[in-house]
Amino acid sequence: MLELISDNWIFFLLALAIGVAVAWWIFAASRRTRVERTEIAPEAESAPARRNQALIDTPPAAAAVTSAIPPAAPIGLAGAGEAVTAAAEPVAAAPAGANPTGDDLKKIKGIGPKLEKLLNSLGVTSYAQIGAWDDAEIDRIDARLGTFQGRIRRDDWPAQARFLAQGDVAGFENRFGKT
């Protein structure tokens, strides 16, 4: 091994020099960050940073969450608290001409069997009800959909329901596709 190094020492020295040059280029020469310092006016130093002002002015997030939590039901009532809560917040009544037996809500894009059961448990059974929802009603129902939150506006359920309530299948299929 010593003979190999003594016979080819020039090549080892050249390889070492190339390695050092490449390492210097990667670590030192490629950094082109320059720090330029500007002088700050003395009166600006005492003012709060503008980027943090929005965080200071917003209300705490915990206040919004605590107001939406319903009270806990007593242990002996086994679910009666949910019934009382549901009775306290009535769902908008179906407009005149609504189907009293309920419509097949699964025809609305974005509503499957689980979501249909959930909507039925909330008192939503017809296309006319969904078609008559305003923004406040959408927000109220959407808050109770759990993992399905956001589907109402994303899939535009009220517009779909208005087509289906009127029996306009052709208009529905033109805008939303086959049922």
pLDDT digits (tens, 9 = 90+) for 98-111: 445 678 889 999 89
When pLDDT is averaged across residues 49-71 and rounded to a whole number, the result is 60
Q: Count the alpha carbons within 13 Å of 129 in the hemisphere toward its beta carbon.
A: 21
In a domain, 166, yes or no: yes
Range of the domain at 133: 105-176
Give the range among 7-21, 31-45, 110-124, 163-177 with minimum mean pLDDT: 31-45
In a domain, 57, yes or no: no
* The most confident of 40-49, 148-157, 170-179, by mean pLDDT: 148-157
pLDDT at residue 80 above 90?
no
In a domain, 70, yes or no: no
In a domain, 120, yes or no: yes
In a domain, 10, yes or no: no
CA distance readout (Å), 104 to 3, 57, 95: 90, 47, 17
In a domain, 45, yes or no: no
In a domain, 133, yes or no: yes
Per-residue confidence (pLDDT) for residue 92, from 0 to 100: 52
In a domain, 109, yes or no: yes
The reported pTM is: 0.44
For tokens 């006319």, what's the residue? 128
State the total domains in the chain. Answer: 1
Q: Confidence class of residue 169 from pLDDT cuts 50, 70 and 90?
A: confident
pLDDT at residue 43 above 80?
no
